[in-house]
C-alpha cells in the first residue's frame, strides 16, 4: 500500500465511509454540472441601465477614471486624449484582440501601437475586458494572446475597453459568462479581477498607488 492509499484510508475511516466511492463520485459530478450559485445581493439585481450606472460609480469610487464612447471607432481618439492629458508619449501596447485591432488606431496622429505581451518597458497598455461587475466596479480580464496578462500589470497606465452589454450585476453572473465564452472544461489559465489602480497601505495607512501594478486605471465603456 502506498503512502497515498494510507492517507486516504485514514480520511475514509475518520468519515466513517466504507465500500466503493461510486455514489459519492456521482454526487460530486452532479454538483459540478449544476454549478450552483450563491446568494446574490440586492444591490446587484438591477436593470441593464442601472448596472452600467452602478459600475461607473463604483469604479470611480475605487480610483479609476471612466468614460463612455458610442462605438469602437471612438476608442483611439479617447486613448489619445488620455495620453495627452497625462503628458504620456504617443505609444501603447495591445494584444491580438480583434476588437482592438480593428478600432482604427491610424486615426490618432503619430501614435505608435506595439503588439504582443509587455516586456515591462511600456508606459501605457490597452486591454479589452471580458466583463464588468457592477456591484464592485470590478473588471474581469482573461489571459491569452488576445489580452496578455502582462499588459494588465506592467505598464504604469492601464486603459481597459469594456462593452456596456458585458457589464453584469454580480460576480456570479460573470463566472457563468466565462464558462459560456470559453466552454466547460476549457477555462482560461488566468482570470484577473481588477478593481481600481494598484494600491497598498503602510502601517500608518498611507496609500501608495502603483505598488503592485499600474498606478492609473482608465476604463472606456463602449455603448
Assess if residue 144 is contained within a domain.
yes
Assess if residue 173 is contained within a domain.
yes
Domain that holds residue 88: 46-222
Q: Give CA separation, 159 vs 39, 80, 154, 182, in Å.
A: 32, 11, 12, 24
pTM: 0.82
Assess if residue 161 is contained within a domain.
yes
Assess if residue 13 is contained within a domain.
no
CATH of the domain at 189: 3.40.50.10420
Question: How many domains does the chain divide into?
Answer: 1
H helix runs in the chain, sequence order = 3-14, 22-34, 48-61, 75-85, 98-101, 149-153, 171-182
- What pLDDT, in 10s, does the model give residues 56-110? 999 999 999 999 999 999 999 999 999 999 999 999 999 999 999 999 999 999 9
- What pLDDT, in 10s, does the model give residues 124-148? 999 999 999 999 999 999 999 999 9
Assess if residue 142 is contained within a domain.
yes
CA distance 79 to 56: 18
Assess if residue 33 is contained within a domain.
no
Assess if residue 57 is contained within a domain.
yes
Assess if residue 89 is contained within a domain.
yes
Q: Give CA separation, 192 vs 132, 139, 150, 179, in Å.
A: 11, 8, 11, 15
Amino acid at each position: 500500500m502506498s503512502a497515498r492509499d494510507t492517507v486516504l484510508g485514514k480520511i475514509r475511516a475518520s468519515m466513517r465511509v466504507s465500500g466503493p466511492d461510486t455514489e459519492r463520485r456521482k454526487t460530486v459530478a452532479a454538483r459540478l454540472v449544476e454549478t450552483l450559485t450563491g446568494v446574490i445581493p440586492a444591490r446587484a439585481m438591477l436593470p441593464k441601465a442601472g448596472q452600467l450606472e452602478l459600475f461607473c460609480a463604483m469604479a470611480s469610487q475605487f480610483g479609476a477614471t471612466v468614460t463612455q464612447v458610442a462605438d469602437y471607432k471612438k476608442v483611439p481618439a479617447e486613448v489619445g486624449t488620455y495620453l495627452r492629458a497625462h503628458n504620456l508619449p504617443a505609444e501603447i501596447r495591445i494584444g491580438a484582440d480583434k476588437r482592438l485591432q480593428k478600432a482604427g488606431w491610424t486615426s490618432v496622429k503619430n501614435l505608435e501601437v506595439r503588439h504582443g505581451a509587455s516586456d515591462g518597458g511600456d508606459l501605457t497598455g490597452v486591454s479589452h475586458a471580458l466583463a464588468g461587475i457592477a456591484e464592485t466596479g470590478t473588471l474581469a480580464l482573461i489571459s491569452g494572446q488576445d489580452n496578455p496578462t502582462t499588459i494588465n500589470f506592467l505598464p504604469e497606465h492601464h486603459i481597459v475597453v469594456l462593452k456596456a452589454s458585458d457589464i453584469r450585476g454580480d460576480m456570479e453572473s460573470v463566472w457563468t459568462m466565462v464558462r459560456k465564452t470559453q466552454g466547460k472544461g476549457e477555462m482560461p489559465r488566468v482570470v484577473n479581477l481588477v478593481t481600481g489602480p494598484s494600491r497598498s497601505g503602510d502601517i500608518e495607512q498611507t496609500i501608495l498607488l502603483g505598488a503592485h501594478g499600474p498606478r492609473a486605471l482608465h476604463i472606456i465603456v463602449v455603448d
